Structure 1
Amino acid sequence: MDFKTLPPGPLRLDNVTVPGCLIGQPGDLVRTSLGEGQPVDMAGAMVLPCFTDMHTHLDKGHIWPRSPNPDGTFMGALTTVGADRTARWGAEDVATRMEFSLRSAYAHGTVAIRTHLDAIAPQDAISFPVFATKREEWAGRITLQAACLIGAEDFSTDGTFRTTADIVAAHQGVLGMVTYPLPDIAQRIRDFLGMAEARNLSADFHVDETLDPASNTLRLIAEAVLETGFSAPVVVGHCCSLSAMPEGDALATLDLVARAGLHVVSLPMCNLYLQDRQPHCTPRMRGITLVHEMKARGINVSFSSDNTRDPFYAYGDMDMLEVMREATRIGHLDHTGTDWVKAFTTNPATAIGTATTLDPANCVIFRARTWNELLARPQSDRIVIRHGRPIDRTLPDYAELDPLMERP
């Protein structure tokens, strides 16, 4: 339950703690008042904007009980999800699991989500209409965007992907693709951007989700954007191989990324789960991309949930505070500036073109008064304010999904 009951009607939240970087004030955390109306002493409670979760997979969510990853590896995830998709992903199945994830995200304080949707035909014609229905049903609560997801080997300008791209355009979506080294990957990236430009679509890539230092399609994407003049927003996610390649190569790539104006989203929980997993061996390399070096170059860096209870990541609950807490620990975001909170709020909103400000009518309030207090506990007693009123934060019961979880 909420840690404090707020009176009805317009409120002035007195004695709240907010990050100075979000209100244009110097310093790390500052005490202030927010809003106009009946005054309420909040005893130093921290207030953050509602969260933007810019890289998720709502179509995959919560299939773990029926299709667990057999060995925790990336290939185990690919094959398991592929089999589950072929056997089970009808419209009702996808819609039910999407709804569960959206209810969870809303209860935790998320206001905008971009989801990737597996789009190899015929799944594109199933999942995008389901998504469109959910976008309409959730309007006013969560702003939803969808990006198609295919592997680079499935892209061609004259094949079935043209139909997929048309479906994406018809649903006001984002064109998405997974990139990795192929003999002609540079040309595929250019052709992909051309298809996006022809349909007035932005682009969102899964990039170099590997610890192979020779995998550097990120550089090719940056070069393609610069050389073609592609002007729509481009998001690149994962970029794990940067952590394994020689530092000179990695930093030269980031210089190009900065010049190209790419938006980067790091998915540390999923990468931590999959990367460097070997039987009976302790992982040595954890796969988080070079977020500090990106930030130093002025690159717009964000963090996001990625997968939730599926073979790519067995855990998660669409809670961006969990992402914030774990990213801070995994990426050593503490002791390195006072504005990393933007990477979970305003930065992802900028990347996907939504607006997020510290608005007392749409915010998340935590009992915590300092960063240490905020990140030391799950903050399960937070208050979520939407349209000026505290919402019911009851999370959906996993038992609701039981009818979908019978194994073949």
Structure 2
Amino acid sequence: MTKPSVDLAHLPSGYVLGNVRAPAYLLDASPGAADAEGLTRLDITIADGRVAALTPPGAASAGLPRLDLGGRLILPGLVDIHTHLDKGFIWKRAPNPDGSFAGALAAADADRRANWHAEDVRRRMDFALRCAFAHGTVAIRTHLDSIGPQTAISWPVFGDMRERWRDRIALQAVALTPIDLVLDDAEFTPLVEAVRTHQGVLGAVTYMSPGLQDGLDRIFAAAEHHGLDLDFHVDESADPAARSLALIAETALRRRFGGRILTGHCCSIARQTETEVDRTLDMAAQAGIGVVSLPMCNLYLQDRVGGRTPRWRGVTLLHEMKARGIEVMVASDNARDPFYAYGDLDLVETWREAARIAHLDHPFADWPSIIARTPAGRMGLRAGTLSVGAAADLSIFSARSLNELLARPQADRTVLRQGKAIDTTPPDYAELDELMERRNG
């Protein structure tokens, strides 16, 4: 199917996108019945950069220019709730030597110490945001390495970027530090202050260390005292003995924590017994914990042994969690850095791969919400839905069904921001060549 002959960038302030399809679950009010894939056919009236009406095909207000899109699929602005904008696009100067988790940690740590001055972080963060913007993303939560002097470097850069991008991408930040360092006043005090100053989220990498419970209690206490939400990197391991998700849930229930809690990765639970799985997921559901899976990064790092084909996918138990009412999401995670050598902050790619890897189909049902409505809610944002009065931030695809959408990369999508088409060309990698000439050590 060819693209519409009308240039969306030069349409008047009011017009109708006619005869389109959208996931019914991403509509605040569906104007018609959904098909077997959960898609509804409708017209979308756009006026002054906002959605003015959602109506059955042909029922939109007369007198406005109407572009019949022949049943093309439309998605609302996408929401990427787990990224690392401070690490992104360092692969050329800091490749992972063997693709392992240990190799990623060592390479990223060395690069941070050698190169992450303010201008380096700013330029790479801006590059990443331009990638995401070109692909149709409207909101991003990024983890920021908050270790030693890096806390005082990256958080002000983030604050500046959030202001520069506030009319294009809504940004949130999470402090990322090993759970053991939460017990170190010299590390934790400036970290909390940075989070408070920049209206961020408290977080940590949790693993089965002797200080895990003390660290959890301290970070929960700080979140309670300052009214902050929590976002953890959890059990990013193949070891079935890694059970910090259960400890986070236990801590939240014991303390009756009232804020939002998000946990990322949660890989090891897929290696545990059914009894342990049931106990942990029941507690997580009771505590209102959300889970974000990072399928591409976890496939890249987990179960990697030289010369051996991986035996498992590293993806958490999305179906079992969702069945208990746990909110589940997927996100980009890393992009061209030691933790994931590939990626471009394209949430359609992330969803496509997640659907294939974790069988998020047969039926598709409400799975499209995992890159839109659900993460938006976790971030406290009005985004990820098609609703009257919302900004006309949409992606239009050649595909007419979810099957067609997930079968191809969709590089030819049209992205609208406030009702006008944007340039969807991602930035050129060559822009960062000067930064990549530096070496670590």
The interval holding the TM-score normalised by the smaller chain is: over 0.9
Show the counterpart of 1:21: 25
Show the counterpart of 2:129: 102
Q: 2:182·2:218 contact (CA, 8 Å) conserved in 1?
A: no
- Paired with 2:263 and 2:11, the residues of 1 have a C-alpha distance of 43
- Paired with 2:370 and 2:261, the residues of 1 have a C-alpha distance of 17
Q: Which amino acid aligns with 2:386?
A: L
Q: 1:212·1:241 contact (CA, 8 Å) conserved in 2?
A: yes
Q: 1:157·1:191 contact (CA, 8 Å) conserved in 2?
A: no
SS in 1 for 2:70: coil
Which ranges in structure 1 are unaligned for 5 or more consecutive residues? none
2:420 aligned with 1:389, yes or no?
yes
Show the counterpart of 2:382: 355
Q: 2:15·2:66 contact (CA, 8 Å) conserved in 1?
A: yes
Q: How does 1:267-306 map to 2 (within 5 A)?
A: 267-306=294-333
Q: Which amino acid aligns with 1:382?
A: R
Select 2:430's aligned residue among 393, 399, 402: 399
- Paired with 2:351 and 2:209, the residues of 1 have a C-alpha distance of 34
- Paired with 1:401 and 1:337, the residues of 2 have a C-alpha distance of 39
User: Normalising to structure 1: TM-score of the pair?
Assistant: 0.97
User: Normalising to structure 2: TM-score of the pair?
Assistant: 0.90
Show the counterpart of 1:380: 411
Q: Which amino acid aligns with 2:329?
A: S
- Paired with 1:223 and 1:373, the residues of 2 have a C-alpha distance of 43
2:42 aligned with 1:11, yes or no?
no
- Paired with 1:361 and 1:327, the residues of 2 have a C-alpha distance of 27
2:34 aligned with 1:30, yes or no?
no
2:391 aligned with 1:364, yes or no?
no
Cα offsets for 1:124-152 (capped at 9, x unmatched): 00000000010000011000001010011
Query: CA distance change for structure 1 residues 194 and 157 in 2, over 3 Å: closer, same or farther?
Result: farther
- Paired with 2:91 and 2:108, the residues of 1 have a C-alpha distance of 9
Q: Which amino acid aligns with 2:401?
A: T
- Paired with 2:231 and 2:96, the residues of 1 have a C-alpha distance of 26
Q: Which amino acid aligns with 2:392?
A: A
Q: Which amino acid aligns with 2:335?
A: T
Q: Which amino acid aligns with 1:285?
A: W
1:158 Cα deviation after fit: 3.2
Q: Which amino acid aligns with 2:43?
A: S
Q: 1:147·1:176 contact (CA, 8 Å) conserved in 2?
A: yes
2:243 aligned with 1:216, yes or no?
yes
Show the counterpart of 2:110: 83
Cα offsets for 1:213-271 (capped at 9, x unmatched): 01100011011111111111111000000111112211210110000001111000000
SS in 2 for 1:55: strand
2:374 aligned with 1:324, yes or no?
no
2:249 aligned with 1:245, yes or no?
no
* Root-mean-square deviation over aligned CA pairs: 1.3
- Paired with 1:158 and 1:113, the residues of 2 have a C-alpha distance of 29
Which ranges in structure 2 are unaligned for 5 or more consecutive residues? 47-63
Show the counterpart of 1:225: 252
- Paired with 2:354 and 2:73, the residues of 1 have a C-alpha distance of 19
- Paired with 1:171 and 1:333, the residues of 2 have a C-alpha distance of 36
Q: Which amino acid aligns with 1:402?
A: D
1:396 Cα deviation after fit: 0.5
SS in 1 for 2:209: coil
State the 4+ residue runs in structure 1 displaced beyond 4 angstroms: none
1:187 Cα deviation after fit: 2.4
Deviates more, 1:78-87 or 1:225-234: 225-234
Q: How does 1:325-344 map to 2 (within 5 A)?
A: 325-344=352-371
SS in 2 for 1:70: coil
